[in-house]
Amino acid sequence: MAAAFEEFGVMPELIKAVEELGWTLPTDIQAEAIPLILGGGDVMAAAETGAGKTGAFGLPVLQIVHEVLREAAMPHQTSSSSSSSSSSSSSSPSTDTAVGTKVALSPDDRDARVAVDARGLVCQSRDEFQWGGCRATVGVTTGKYYYEAKVTDEGLCRVGWSTRAAALDLGTDAHGYGFGGTGTHSRFVSNHCKKSNRRQFDTYGEPYGKNDVIGCFIDCDEGTIHFTKNGRSLDKAFDIPPRGFAFYPAVVLKNAEMEFNFGHSPFKYDPGDYKPISAAPIAETTLGAAGSAGRKGRGPLAIIIEPTRELAQQTHEQLGLFKKHLTAPSLEILLLVGGMPVPPALNALKHGVDIITATPGKLMDLIKSGKVDLSDVRFFVLDEADRLVSQAEDAAAISDLYSKLPKAVHRLQVLMFSATLHSPEITDMSQKICKFPTWVDLKGKESVPETVHHAIVWADPDKDHSWVSPLKRPKTDGIHAKDSHPTTKTVATNELHYSQAVKLLKPILVAKVIDAHKMDQALIFVRTRVDADCLEAYFNDLGGKEKGKRALIEHAYSCASLHSGRSMRERSAALEGFKNGEIRFLICTDVAARGIDIKELPYVINVTLPDKSEDYIHRVGRVGRADRLGMAISIVARGKEKVWFHQCKSRGSGCQDVRLVEEGGCGLWFDEPSYIAAIQKRLGGEPIPELDSNMQLPGASEGEVVYGQKKDQSDSHDTLIHLQQLTPLVKQLAVLESAAQKQYWNLRCGFSS
C-alpha cells in the first residue's frame, strides 16, 4: 500500500497514518484526485458515497499546508552582494549569502549513510546496496539559478532539485527531480541515464561518470529544470508546478562521491543568464503571518466547508488521524460549527490555526467579527458541494466567503467534492469560483455500490389492517389531529383517512421488518424531526428505553433520534452511542444522510422516501461500504400522504395551519409512488424487489446472505456449497476418464477388454 500512495506523491508521514487506519489500497477517487491536487490545479470530483472522498482531498491538503509551513519555518535571510569577474571559460561565483552563511550541503538534511565534509561541498556514500540522499541549505522560489556537481569517484549518483517535503531518495516522489544513474548495484554502472520524478525513470541525456561535471539549472518563474554535461546542453528535463515552494539542490548516491560548486569558486562552465544559487535569498515564501511572526496569530492556509455539524466534525476528526505523524512543525486544525462553546475557538484562532473545518454560517459570523484572518488561505474546499449550493443561504455565504479570499499573492486552489456534481447550481457555482478545473467523475450521477440490495415494503392500509387496533399506538405528526379517526371502511374512499392510516401503519411495518431480519443495527431515515421524535417514542413504548446501559443494549428496539432540533451534545451522544453499539437504531432526518461513516453498517430503512432521488443515493450509501453487503429497505405508501411543509415564520413551532401550501397553509401532499418510480429509474430502470409477507426477499433462504459481512466472505460460502455439490460429479468423471484411458490403451496394444 505504501508504494501505491507513494506513487501519487504522498509524503511518508501521511502514508504511515493511513496504514495505521487499516487502509489497504487507495480508492479510485483518491488515485485520481490526489495527484491532481498535489499538482496545484482546481478539482471538481464526483464519486459514489463511501468512496473515500475525505482522504482524496484531506491528504494532499495536509501535505501542501505542511510544506508551506515547513518552508516558512526556515531562517529568513537576505543575500549579500557579490563581486564577480569573468573569463572565457568560467563565470564568477557569488560570495556568501546572508549573514556570512555559505550555501552548503546540509549536515542535518541527509541520510545517515551520507558523509559531508567540513566545507559542505563534498559528499559520499559507501553503501553499495542502498541509496543515500542529501540536500543543500538554501532553496529558491523565484528566478533562474545554477550549480555544478562533479563526480569525483565512480559509482551511481543522481543530482537535481527537490523541496523539503521530498524524499531524500531523489526522484522517487512528486517533489524531487533528478538526473543520473538508476542501477541497483553500484558495481554495475548502467549504460543508461535517466531523469526521474514520482519514481518514473525516463531516458534523458547521456551517462556520466568520474570527472564529469553536471550543470543543474532551474527557472522558477517559467517552471522548468534542465541539465548540462560538461557544458553541453541536454535540453529541458522537467516542467515543475508553480506552487511557490522553495527548491533545493539535491543529490542521491550509491557507493559514490561528488563535489559541488554553488558559487563559492568560479564555475567551470558558463551558465549564461542563470545566477549562482549562492546569490539567492534563502527559502523565501509568500506567507504573511506564518513567515514573519511565527506560529502565533497565524491565519488558516486551508478552509473546508461542510453542510452539517456532524459531517464537519467527522472530517475534522479524520484530518486529526491523518496528521498525527506530521511534525516540525505540527499542524493546528480547528472545528467551527454551531452549538460549540465560543471561547476555546477564539483562543485557538488567537494562537494560530492552519486548517479550519466549518459550516458556512458559523465561519461567516467569525469572519465578519474579524476573528478569522483570511490573508494566507491557499485552499478552499467544498465537501458535499451539491448540498451546499442547493441551499440558497449556504450558497450566498460561499460566494461571499470566496470574494474575501486572497487571489493575487498566491494561487487559490478550489476543490469541490460530492457524491453528485450534476446540477445547474453546481455548474453555476463552479463557473464563479473555479479556474479551469479538472473534472473527476467516477459514477457520480447514478451510482450506488453493487453491494447494496434494495427492497420495498408497501404500506397499504386497505390491505394491512394492523394499524386499526395495535398493542401500542404510534404517535403521528399531528396534521390530522382535528380529522375524524379512520376505519378500514373509510380509508379507501377518504384521502385524509388514508393518509392518517399510512402514518399509523408505517411504524408498525418498521418494527416488523426489524423483527423479521433480527436486526442488531440500522440507520432509519424519516422526513422531519417531528417524525423522528414520534418513531423514537413508539420504539420506547415497545420497551426500547430502560434504565441502565446493559438494558439499553439488550433491548430489541433501543434507539436514539438525530436531527437539527436536538442539541449538539445530544446529537454527539446519539451518534457515538450508535457507533459504539450502545443503541441499535439511529432515527434521523437527512441531516445525517451525508458523510456519516458507520463501519460495517448492515441496514438502512427509509420510513419516508426523500422527494429527490439523489438524496436516496446518499441515504443508502451508508451501507455497502468497503465491499460489505448492505440492505436498503423502503416503506412506501401506496397512495398519497399529507405532510407538514412549514413556510411560516415560526418554522412549525406551534403551527396548526393544515391548509395546503397553495392555499397559504403549511400542508403538502406527499406522493411516494412517483418518488419510488424516479428512484427506480435512477438505479437503472429495473423494478426494486418487494419483500414478501414474511418481510423477506422472494426466493432468499434464511442465512444465505449476511448483511454487514464482506462480499467475498459471502461469495466464499457460496463457492463452498457449490464445490460440495460438484464433488460427487467430479469423482464420477474421474472414474469414467480412467476407464476410457484403459480402453484406449487396450485397443492400442491389441488386448481385449
- Which residue, 55, 51, 33, is CA-closest to 449? 51
Tell me if 2-70+295-441 shares its fold with 105-284: no
First to last CA, the chain: 61
Domain segments of the chain as ranges: 2-70+295-441, 105-284, 452-458+519-683
pLDDT value for 634: 96
Give the number of residues written for the chain: 753
Cα–Cα distance measured from residue 55 to residue 45, given in angstroms and rounded to the nearest whole number: 12
Predicted structure pTM score: 0.51
Task: Please identify which residue in the block is written with the cell numbers 494532499.
Answer: 60
pLDDT value for 185: 41
- Reading the block at residue 581, the C-alpha cell is 453499539
Q: Which residues of the chain have pLDDT under 70?
A: 1-3, 48-50, 72-102, 108, 165, 183-192, 242-244, 282-297, 408-410, 419-420, 443-449, 544-554, 568, 591-597, 626-627, 700-704, 710-731, 734-735, 737-738, 740-753
Burial level of 718, CB count in 10 A (0-12/13-18/19+)?
exposed
> Exposure string (b/e) for 302-331, b if CB count within 10 Å is 16 or more?
bbbbbbbbbbbbbbbebbeebbbebeeeeb
pLDDT value for 454: 92
Q: Give Cα 514 distance to the centre of its chain.
A: 33
Instruction: Please answer whether residues 101 and 79 qualify as being in contact, where contact means their C-beta atoms are separated by less than 8 angstroms.
Output: no
Q: What is the pLDDT of residues 129-169, one digit of tens each?
A: 889 999 998 888 889 999 999 999 988 999 999 987 678 88
Dihedral sign, CA of 532, 536, 539, 544? positive
Query: What is the domain class of 452-458+519-683 according to CATH?
Result: alpha beta
Burial level of 669, CB count in 10 A (0-12/13-18/19+)?
middle
Instruction: Specify the CATH number of the domain 2-70+295-441.
Output: 3.40.50.300
Strand order in the sheet with 105-110: 105-110, 132-136, 248-254, 156-162, 176-180, 194-197, 200-203
pLDDT value for 163: 83
Q: What is the pLDDT of residues 3-32, one digit of tens each?
A: 577 777 788 899 999 988 888 788 888 988
- Which residue, 139, 163, 135, is CA-closest to 149? 135
Helix H or strand E encompassing 195 = strand 194-197
Give me the torsion for CA of 335, 341, 342, 345, rounded to 10°.
Answer: -30
- Reading the block at residue 372, the C-alpha cell is 478569522
Cα–Cα distance measured from residue 698 to residue 516, given in angstroms and rounded to the nearest whole number: 14
Could you please state the CATH topology (level 3) that the domain comprising 105-284 is classified under: Jelly Rolls (2.60.120)
Cα–Cα distance measured from residue 267 to residue 274, given in angstroms and rounded to the nearest whole number: 12
Crossing angle of helices 424-433 and 392-404, in 10° steps, is 10
